[in-house]
Amino acid sequence: MKTKLLLFPLIILYFFTISYHAHASSEIILTKIEKILENNSINEYKTLIDLTIDLINKKSDSEEMRYIVNILIKLIGKDKNKITNKIFLDFKNKYPLPINDFETDLAEKIVYSCLLLATSSPNDDPTGSVEQEADAKKILLNVIEKSTQKKYVAVALLLMTEIDVANSNKYFNLLRKNYPDHKSWPFIELDQLEIKLCYIERNFQKYITEVSELAKKYKDIPTPLGHKYLIECYSDIAFTYAVSLKDTQKAKEYLAIIEKNDPNYIFLDWLKKIVQEK
C-alpha cells in the first residue's frame, strides 16, 4: 500500500511533465511560424506551410485552433510572391479542382483554400481572382457540410468567420452550437468582438470596453504563445487606441503595462513600432 502511495505522485508528475512539454513544443512551433510571418522570411514559407499543416492535424481540437487560423489569415494577407505561387502550384498539382473528397488530407486542403486566396491578384486578373475566391470558399464550405471529421470542420468554420465577414455571425453561431466546450473559446471570443465591433459596426470604443471585460474574465489563462490572456487583450487595446482612435497617449499607457508585465511578449517590438509610428 505504501508503495502505491509513493507511486501516485510520481504518476501525476509524469503526466504533468508530458502535458507541459507538449504545450511547450507547440509554443515553440507557433512562435517560429509567427517570426517567419513577422520577418517576411519568404525562403522559410515552405517550412511555415509544413508546420501549419502539422498543427492543424495535431492541435485543431485544442486552444491552438484560433492561433492556427490566424496564421492562415496572415498568410492570405501577405503580398503575392514567387515562393507562395510555387507552393500553390505544388498543391494544385496534388489537389486539382474540383476537389470531391472531404475525408482525407483535410489539413492540406484547408491550407490549399488559403493559398487560393493568397495568390489571387485582382489588379492583374480580376476575373481569375473572383473565381479563385469562390473556389477557396467552396472548399471550406464543403469541409463544413460534407466532412465527418469534426476538428477540421471547426477550423473551416473559424476560417469562414474571417473570410466571409458579412456572414461571420452565422459561422460563429455554428461554432458555438456544435463546439460549445472547445478549448479555444476564450480566444475565439476576442476575434468575434473584433469582427463585430471593429469591422462591421466600427465602434472602436465599445470594442475596448468589451475587451477589457474579457481581460478581467480570463486574465490569467495562458495562451498557446506563452503569454497570459490579459497581455493579449491589452495588446489589442493598445493597437486600437493607436491605429483606430489615434490616441497615442492611451496606447502608450497600455504598452507600458505590457512591457512591465511581459517584457518577452512576442509582439512587443512590433507593437512599439505601431504606436511610435502613430
Q: Which three cell numbers stand for residue 81?
A: 510572391
Nearest to 183 by CA among 137, 233, 229, 236: 229
How does pLDDT run across 212-264, given as a tens digit for each residue?
Answer: 999 999 999 999 989 999 999 999 999 999 999 999 999 999 999 999 999 99
CA distances from 118 to 32, 142, 198 (A): 20, 19, 23
Mean pLDDT of the chain: 86
C-beta of residue 245 within 8 angstroms of C-beta of residue 205: yes
> Residue 3 pLDDT > 50, yes or no?
no
How does pLDDT run across 95-113, given as a tens digit for each residue?
Answer: 999 999 999 999 999 999 9
Task: Return the top range by mean pLDDT from 8-12, 34-38, 77-81.
Answer: 34-38
The span from the CA of 47 to the CA of 64, in Å, is: 18
Radius of gyration of the chain (CA): 20
The span from the CA of 139 to the CA of 106, in Å, is: 10
The mean pLDDT value for 148-170 works out to 96
C-beta of residue 140 within 8 angstroms of C-beta of residue 113: yes
C-beta of residue 64 within 8 angstroms of C-beta of residue 30: yes
> Residue 63 pLDDT > 70, yes or no?
yes
Q: Which residues contact 115 (CB under 8 A, 6 or more apart)?
A: 75, 84, 87, 88, 91
Q: In whole angstroms, what separates CA 133 from the centre of its chain?
A: 20
Location of C-alpha cell 468554420: 157
Q: In whole angstroms, what separates CA 11 from the centre of its chain?
A: 34
How does pLDDT run across 21-52, given as a tens digit for each residue?
Answer: 344 477 888 888 888 887 766 678 888 899 99
Q: Name residue 120's amino acid.
A: S
The span from the CA of 240 to the CA of 207, in Å, is: 9
Q: Which three cell numbers stand for residue 156?
A: 473551416
Confidence label for 121 from pLDDT (cuts 50, 70 and 90): low
Confidence label for 79 from pLDDT (cuts 50, 70 and 90): low
- Give the Cβ contact number of residue 62 at 10 Å: 19
The span from the CA of 201 to the CA of 199, in Å, is: 6
